Amino acid sequence: MIYLSRKMYFSAAHFYRVEEWSEEQNRRMFGLCSHVHGHGHDYTLDVMVKGELNSKSGIVVNITDIDWVMKSVVRKELDGKFLNKENPFFQTKVPTTENIVSYLWDSLEGKMENCQLYKIRLRENDFLYAEKESSSMVRLTRKYHFSTAHRLHSNQLSDEENLELFGKCNNPYGHGHNYYLEVTVSGEPDPITGMVDNLSTLDQIVDEEIMNRFDHKHLNLDTEEFKDLNPTSENVAVVIWNLLAPRIPKLFKIGLYETEKNYFEYYGPGVY
């Protein structure tokens, strides 16, 4: 089986509002997104398909065929539109990133020959994207940033062993990074709000549990969690999972960029 993907961009306007709700209720649930005149995004859409390699042609499927199918949906139904006003589906469904990705899945599935739809990723901006694979679940990923100092040093190793293993990262005074944290939740979008999880609640939990603890701190010196634990990014990812999981039941994955080059993922204990 070979997996391949095609990228496409489109722009659309929308608002998040439930008609039956008062202005106050909409504002409380959706915040700025409820503004009645709307706002908009430049979306990035990745469509991934899978299929068997054709030994004669050397391809699974002509990628221009995939592009044509994507365009026939996106150009006609989403690009350049005000979704709530111009697309019948979003007159009754809130056009959250989760609902748009579900809509795209239903519109594209079964439309491409010689391959199967495998995954759709829709990026609303650099800090928010939704993904869907074959199940009914949608995954929503929110990205956060914090800046933190640390010193890589294990108290179960000798000073010499620490220096040899961690090199300059073992500098006694520490050094620092721009960390980018991805918090992914998984579930079915709520039939009324269109959200897998309330974003402002998610932001508030991450603020309380992670930002307040770690942002602009020295992990080894300022935090309980790393007083006796080596603050490698592996450990940071696990600690973040353990802090968030009790408050975010739909938590699916923690992704952590220590630098642009170093990325770590953790799916919780006993998974994968």
Burial of 260 (0-12, 13-18, 19+ CB in 10 A): exposed
Nearer to Zn ion, 67 or 86 (CB): 86
Q: By the 8 A CB rule, do 11 and 79 touch?
A: yes
How far is Cα 253 from Cα 255, in angstroms, rounded to an integer?
Answer: 6
Size of the site for Zn ion (CB under 5 A): 1
**Nearest CA among 234, 56, 35, 41 for reference residue 154:** 234
Nearest-approach distance from CB 177 to Zn ion, in angstroms:
5
Find the helix or strand (DSSP H, E) in which 237 lies: helix 233-244
Site string for Zn ion, 149-188 (x = CB under 5 A): --------------------x-------------------
In the DSSP assignment, the letter for residue 195 is -
Site string for Zn ion, 34-73 (x = CB under 5 A): ----------------------------------------
CA distances from 196 to 31, 87, 128, 227, 271 (A): 16, 22, 13, 35, 21
Nearer to Zn ion, 157 or 169 (CB): 169
Is 258 one of the annotated active-site residues of the chain?
A: yes
Nearer to Zn ion, 133 or 222 (CB): 222
Nearest-approach distance from CB 270 to Zn ion, in angstroms:
28
Nearest-approach distance from CB 155 to Zn ion, in angstroms:
17
Is 216 one of the annotated active-site residues of the chain?
A: yes
Q: State which residue has the least CB distance to Zn ion.
A: 169
Nearer to Zn ion, 43 or 252 (CB): 43
Nearest-approach distance from CB 160 to Zn ion, in angstroms:
20
Exactly one of 109, 145, 216, 265 is catalytic; name it: 216
Burial of 56 (0-12, 13-18, 19+ CB in 10 A): exposed
- Helices 63-77 & 97-108 angle (0-180, nearest 10): 130
Nearest-approach distance from CB 169 to Zn ion, in angstroms:
5
Count of residues in the chain: 272
Nearer to Zn ion, 169 or 211 (CB): 169
Q: By the 8 A CB rule, do 188 and 178 touch?
A: no
Which amino acids are annotated catalytic?
169, 216, 258
The residues that touch Zn ion, with contacts defined as CB under 5 A, are 169
